[in-house]
Amino acid sequence: MTTANTDQGPVVFVLFGATGDLAKRMVLPAFYRLETEGLLPKQWRLLGNGRGDIAHEDFRAHFHDALTESGVTPDPGQWDAFAKQLYFAGGGFNTDSPGSLLDVLARARESIGGDPQLVHYLAIPPVAFAETTKALGGHGLAEGARVVYEKPFGTSGEDFRELDDVVHAVLDEQQVYRIDHFLGKEATQDLHMLRFANESTAAFWNGEHIESVQIDVPETLDINDRAQFYDATGAVLDMMVTHLFQVAAEVAMEPPASLGALDLQAAREEVISCFRKLDTGEVLLGQYDGYRDVPGIDPQSNQNTFVAARLWIDNPRWRNVPFYLRTGKMLAVSDQRVSLILRQPSGPLSGKLPRNGNVLSFCLGGDGGIDLSMVAKKPGAGLDLDVAHAPIPLDSLRDADPLPPYVRLIHDVLTGDRSLFTRPDGLAAVWQVADPLLSNPPQVITYQPGSWGPAQAAGLVAPGEWLVGQ
């Protein structure tokens, strides 16, 4: 178990949308994991907020159900002590009315004593971000608070700018935590350490040695449990301009002056500003057959459930190196992988080596992992070559205690560490990169569930191939 945050002051954590799907699947289990890891402060309260008028006991039962549905069976003794810190403030929350939140919050502050840090987590639909932010300011809940925004932070460049103006009219930038759980993955830290702590990899981390980069996140999942949300976003907004672009920035950034929040964020946003605007001729969109039959989906919907794109980064380190991005629903397998494909060396074996024989890949799922493939001679009398793999499962390291992304990021919010959260300048650049695709998208191509998406996606990486699934 991790050492408790005994030096951390008291916290009141307000969870907007506390009975919604996102909170149930991600936030509530993550918060309880912080308790089991000893990462919550000595004094804390969690206040759920929603439109319904729910008794504290009923919210505690809802929280417990969320844990059991996620596969967690709370220890009865630990749960009893934990549940006493959970409260619910109903009646909604907007600029016209705070519901019962101010009253419940006042009692929570009084019970803790002192001046607890206020953290607001907006696990609500993005369309409600602006109104809730204005309400925080209007009801006196913004000063000194930390405010967490789920993605997507905007749905277009114009929408982003409008939301950003509202947020900064109420909050200072240092109070804002725009969450992207891919940045909270253990593998994100693996990328940093492998590159910046090892000269062997730092030496080839550039276009002179790397032929291409693949960021591949296929999913077998459907969208049945979030149909309305998905039909308003699609794979492009839900995954590519959020998660995949941020992972590309993690791979491509210049070495920061330090791994502190300001330096790390600056390096990430600087390289995003070098992303070239997408060429829609280098993007493929797909929709799985049967998507329009899902309850809640417009029968005429043209929304994408698959996207594959070629991204270029116009700086000296990565010029002319393609970054291939792919993600989609109802595909053949689920995986989350970054692959750096090295160029074939010149010399006596030039042209005789197996393609993609030298690849460094990172598993972004679970606890993370690294795999290095190298060309080797098969033992025997002949000079037969094959590809050997050297896996490095990071959870096998001594005293490893990996944290799921939401646990890591909520802990960072509680401690005030903004290293793994996005900044507005980087998001503004992302929307510029995606603008050609959003304003004039290519035709959506139908693909069969359980396939690898539209067959045309294979041509995007030709003469190579997508490594996941090969």
**Per-residue pLDDT, 381:** 77
**Per-residue pLDDT, 397:** 66
d(CA 94, CA 260): 36
Name the more confident of 193 and 350.
193
User: Tokens representing 88?
Assistant: 């619910």
Is the pLDDT score of 234 beyond 80? yes
**Per-residue pLDDT, 313:** 98
**Per-residue pLDDT, 286:** 97
Name the more confident of 405 and 64.
64
**Per-residue pLDDT, 3:** 42
Is the pLDDT score of 454 beyond 70? yes
**Per-residue pLDDT, 350:** 72
Taking only the tens place, the pLDDT of each residue in 431-449 is 999 999 999 999 999 999 9
Question: Strands 369-377, 359-363: parallel, antiparallel or unpaired by DSSP?
Answer: antiparallel
Is the pLDDT score of 347 beyond 80? no
d(CA 228, CA 4): 40
**Per-residue pLDDT, 2:** 42
DSSP of 26-55: IIHHHHHHHHHTT-SBSSEEEEEE-SS---
**Per-residue pLDDT, 391:** 86
Half-sphere exposure of 249 (CA within 13 A, CB side): 33
Taking only the tens place, the pLDDT of each residue in 150-200 is 888 888 889 999 999 999 999 999 999 998 888 888 777 778 888 898 898
Residue 28's pLDDT band, with cuts at 50, 70 and 90, is very high
Three-state DSSP at 369 gives strand
User: What is the reported pTM?
Assistant: 0.89
Q: Which of 64, 120, 181, 243 is catalytic?
A: 243
Tell me if residue 139 is catalytic.
no
Question: Strands 385-393, 369-377: parallel, antiparallel or unpaired by DSSP?
Answer: antiparallel
Is the pLDDT score of 393 beyond 80? no
Average pLDDT along the chain:
91
Task: Report the 3 state secondary structure along 263-292.
Answer: HHHHHHHHHHCCECCCCHHHEEEEEECCHH
Is the pLDDT score of 121 beyond 50? yes
**Per-residue pLDDT, 301:** 95
d(CA 151, CA 4): 29
